[in-house]
A and B are shown apart, each in its own frame.
Chain A
Amino acid sequence: MYLNYLASISRYIPELLLVMLMVGLILIETTYANDDKNKRYIFITAISGLVVTFISLLLNLDGKSETIFNNSMVIDSFSTTMKMIMVLGTLGAYYLSTISKEIYESLKTEFIIMAIGILIGGMILASANNMLMMYIGIETLSIISYVMAALKKNDERSSEAGLKYALYGGISSGIMLFGMSHIFGVIGTIQFTGMAANIAKLDHTQILIMMPSFVLFFAGIGYKIAAVPFHMWSPDVYEGSPTPVTTFFAIVPKLAGISALVRVTMIFFSTASPLSVMWVGLMMVIAALTMTVGNVSAIGQKSVKRMLAYSSISHAGIMIAGLVVLNKIGIQAIVFYSMIYLFMTLVAFYITNIVQDKYGNDHFERFQGLAYRYPYMAIMMSIVMFSLTGLPPLAGFVAKWNIINSLLSSKFYTLAIVLVLNSVVSAYYYLKIVRLMTLKQPESTEEIEGFGFLNQFIIVAMTAPVIILGIFWDSVMNIAYNAKLFIP
């Protein structure tokens, strides 16, 4: 028994590395935090720790898929790929946190440490193979998130964001737990593998009970993804939190939630049954609603961050749409979408944050005439906006195209049409930024300190994949293609 655990540990090195990194950073922080110079060391340690984790994940990628710790976790190429995307997202948020003025200097190390905690939660969620692990993953993710949202201690909106996040989070995880207990009551096990086998044997009454239970179960995950109708918290939290935190929220918890949702869907519902019909119907409605509500709400926004929050809701909707086909093509499309989403989100938030730091707010008008002062940054922002809209030959188009592809391969015409109509709606507000940047004259000629050479270089480097993957995407598509879900 114990030997079994030890044997499993070799596949669990990335998570363990992160735990050690987190503990180590806490120790360093408490000992040396008084000196500003030491902060840089903490930062460098954290970044190198993440890089090592990334490499160990990369090594894990080719290993065989298996369950570890008595079936409670599963390591497969799908979860590993998603974890790699999350680690990259964290790295992106880290660098942003060092240049951002929104987080108080004294709290920057805390952001770094907490982010690792959330990342660990997300990785647990991506690998969870039973109800308990899933719940632990969600809670690890959530509890630290609440603190992180309120990181700007003296700021009213940040505190509000933290409180709102905590309240919504508490309720939805309660609902989720309620659904889980129902499911456990009917099926008698919390292991996903065993549950899937038992579901096939249920009679009609039991299936009727299971239906609402799964809907309740979905509440917890839906809340993390910010799927409509559990999205209410997201714009307020995204706007109130410091931008690096927002960036982090838009990537790690969201993608962790998506990967958990993919796993749950594929394990329980990939075989035809009344439950699977119900789930697919539910996912279709949720996907359509999430896309539409996200896009329509984004139109009227004044704050760019809030607009991006709504847009990220709609992108989550598109990813959920890839789920309803219940097969590999859909998963492949979702993984590819996540990769592209990562780069687009990072660039958009980087530029928004730097502009916001300069002017103190992130209203659309602050972007006026950016093209005449920082042409490269305006071009990068435009590229990302067009990519988010889904315009070829940018990566966002390929990502969307893959989702449409998967939808039509299983003849979900209606959802595909809803998706493309949403793209048109989204084009309006993405164009708004492009329009302001290029077609208006700048309101001031002051220099924006954030756009130094290094930062510009990093932003350009992060935009490069958005362009390159739009034209030569078959290699990355192969990575997504190899991200196989292991169902024991």
Chain B
Amino acid sequence: MHGLDLLSWILWMPIIGVIGVLLIPKEQTTSMKWWALINTVITFVLTIVLYSKFDQSVAGMQPGLSVNIPWIPQFHINYALGVDGISLPMILLTSLLFMLCILSSWTQIKKSIKAYFALLLLLQSTVFGVFMAMDFFLFYVYWEVMLLPMFFLIGVWGGENREYAAVKFFLYTFFGSLLMLVGIVALYFATGQSETSFSILALQGGHFTDLTLKLFGASVSFSKLFFIFMFIGFAIKVPVFPFHTWLPHAHVQAPTAISVILAGVLLKMGTYGFLRIAFPIFPDSAKYFAEAIAWLGLINVIYGALCAMAQTDVKKLIAYSSVSHMGFVMLGLASMTVQGMNGAVLQMFNHGTSTAMMFFMIGIIYERSHHRYIVRPDGSRGFGGLYTQLPVYSIIFIIGMFASMGLPGMSGFISEALIFLGMYEKYTTITVLALFGLLIGAAYLLWMFKRMFFGEVNPEVKEYTDMTKLEVGYMIPLCIAVIVFGIFPSPILNMMKASVGQLVSLLATF
């Protein structure tokens, strides 16, 4: 062996960061922050190196980058990592957002700074683990370990009702992932406990179409039952409609950086799970349930948008807009066409950048106002006339908002257009209805904007200062991302084209 390979470096670099943070004495908070920042910058550079080494013509895992080391030989569990066109955009997004989150936490986090940065970096490593793991057991371990830092990050540094939010988040996700665990073990035995029984790649391809099992004496299709199990596991994370109730609480209570991570990266883990695991392993059931998934996606789009419209807390509004936007991803997945799937993966990336922007912006204004009311409980306006007082803030906010709305020329537009293109022929009704979701989306965002930025200037707004250099600094990369990928999305589309195409053609054979 020639030392660690690139993927392991990316995966373990944040852990090196954790160790460093723990070794720095408690009082030296500035050096701790610098250390965390340098660490995430190194990780980001490494992911750029990964991007430069990426061969876009390969559909499967990148052969030169994959790792496979036995971990528990007795059960054929391996430390297997890999990267393909679906996971690479997510890895890039993760390393970018975490770097920016360190910057945004620079002044916003005031208590237990040491623990905060250690947990944040630990979270980064586990997220990388989820996106890289090619061993089902390893995937599950990372999927679960991610709960620990999240629980504390929401619970300790969150808002007033943080405990409830943290526990709800934990229990929901834990429930879903345990169902997935049963599926993992069942697959292990269904494939005869062989060398490749935990290999996600070897399980793919619909080997379980004809298998049945007995449940309470009734014969049940193996594939359908465990597709549902895994669906619930991933759907909770997305979150798909009936399982979404944890999200508004977690988002509202979490500190800014964590909301950004939650919306920007963690929600994508759910849809990534569909793309990587549920769909390719059970393609027949995915096909069977496709229409149901599409309807659920539609409910997400419409219901999320309507809920967002009713909110008076701007952070909750954006949280519900995430529900709505993730619905588009589900629609793209359910279409199972090349355009739809590409659109879904692109939307995963674009939503990551645009929602991250919105949450950052809300965090920035919250630091000045210490409230987030669009309309206060007594009916008066929480903000008003921000536009005249904070011009820089307003411009960046507008960019983020338009990207989130899906205005042509911004990143959200391309992915949503692709999704609609991909699904129109298959689900015409749903497409038409989903378009209304887009309309409502524009409505609630503009309405919010009007109430916050225009109109009479609130007296307290006059005291707010505009964005600091640091704040502008960490918003610029995201501004560039939403504009550049809105005009010129091909770098990301080329990245995923081959891998998504392979998945679509696999699904087409069933």
Contacts and interface: CB of A to CB of B under 8 A. Distances in A.
Interface of A: 386, 389, 391-393, 397, 401, 404-405, 408-409, 411, 413-414, 416-417, 420-421, 423-424, 427-428, 431, 434-435, 438-439, 473-474, 477-478, 481
Contacts of B171: 424, 427-428, 431
A423 B174 contact: yes
Contacts of B167: 428, 431, 435
Interface string B135-179: 000001100110110011001100000110011001100110011
Contact of A435 (B72, B166, B214): B166
A393 B77 CA distance: 14
Main secondary structure of the interface of A (DSSP, over half): helix
Contacts of B148: 386, 391
Contacts of A413: 182, 186, 213-215
Contacts of B3: none
Q: Which 9 A-B pairs have the closest CB atoms?
A: A420-B178, A392-B141, A424-B175, A439-B155, A408-B185, A392-B144, A474-B72, A404-B185, A427-B174
B397 interface: no
B155 A438 contact: yes
Contacts of A405: 75, 185, 188
25 contacts: A391-B147, A392-B145, A397-B144, A404-B182, A405-B75, A408-B182, A411-B214, A413-B186, A413-B213, A416-B185, A420-B181, A421-B178, A423-B178, A424-B171, A431-B171, A435-B155, A435-B166, A435-B167, A438-B152, A438-B155, A439-B162, A439-B163, A439-B166, A474-B72, A478-B74
Contact of A420 (B74, B147, B182, B215): B182
Contacts of B141: 392-393
Contact of A401 (B179, B185, B213): B185
B454 interface: no
B156 A438 contact: yes
B144 A391 contact: yes
A408 to B, nearest CB: 5
B189 interface: yes
Contacts of A401: 181, 185
Interface in B92-121: none
Contacts of A392: 140-141, 144-145
B73 interface: yes
A404 B181 contact: yes
A219 B175 CA distance: 34
Contact of B74 (A431, A438, A477): A477
A434 B141 CA distance: 20
B45 to A, nearest CB: 28
Given A408-B182, A428-B167, A393 B175 contact: no
A435 B163 contact: yes
B178 A424 contact: yes
B174 A473 contact: no
A314 to B, nearest CB: 15
A414 B220 CA distance: 13
Nearest to B154: A439
Nearest to A427: B174
A427 B167 CA distance: 9
Main secondary structure of the interface of B (DSSP, over half): helix
Given A391-B144, A439-B163, A424 B181 contact: no
Contacts of B185: 401, 404-405, 408, 416
B156 A409 contact: no
Given A413-B182, A427-B174, 14 more contacts: A401-B181, A404-B182, A404-B185, A408-B186, A413-B186, A420-B182, A421-B178, A423-B174, A431-B167, A435-B166, A435-B167, A438-B152, A473-B72, A474-B74
A405 B187 CA distance: 11
Contact of A427 (B163, B170, B186, B215): B170
Contacts of B214: 411, 413
A393 B186 CA distance: 20
Nearest to A390: B178
A439 B72 contact: no
Contacts of A439: 155-156, 162-163, 166
A401 to B, nearest CB: 7
Contacts of A438: 152, 155-156
A411 B213 contact: yes
A419 B144 CA distance: 17
Contacts of A416: 182, 185
A408 B144 CA distance: 21
A415 B182 CA distance: 11
Nearest to A372: B112
Given A420-B179, A438-B156, A473-B72, A414 B170 contact: no
Residue of A423, A438, A477, A478 with most partner-chain B CB within 10 A: A438
B239 to A, nearest CB: 17
Nearest to A428: B171
A329 to B, nearest CB: 10
Interface in B17-39: none
Nearest to B179: A420
A62 B477 CA distance: 64
Contacts of A424: 171, 174-175, 178
A373 to B, nearest CB: 13
A438 B174 CA distance: 20
B229 to A, nearest CB: 9
Interface in B209-255: 213-216
A362 B391 CA distance: 57
B128 to A, nearest CB: 15
A416 B185 CA distance: 10
Contacts of B189: 408-409, 411
Contacts of A427: 170-171, 174
Nearest to A423: B178
Interface string B377-421: 000000000000000000000000000000000000000000000
Residue of B147, B162, B170 with most partner-chain A CB within 10 A: B170
Nearest to B158: A439
A324 to B, nearest CB: 15
Contacts of B162: 439
Contacts of B213: 411, 413
A424 B167 CA distance: 11
A473 B188 CA distance: 18
A408 B188 CA distance: 9
A414 B216 contact: yes
Nearest to A435: B163
A408 B174 CA distance: 20
A287 to B, nearest CB: 16
Contacts of B182: 404, 408, 413, 416-417, 420
Nearest to A407: B185
Nearest to A400: B181
Nearest to B216: A414
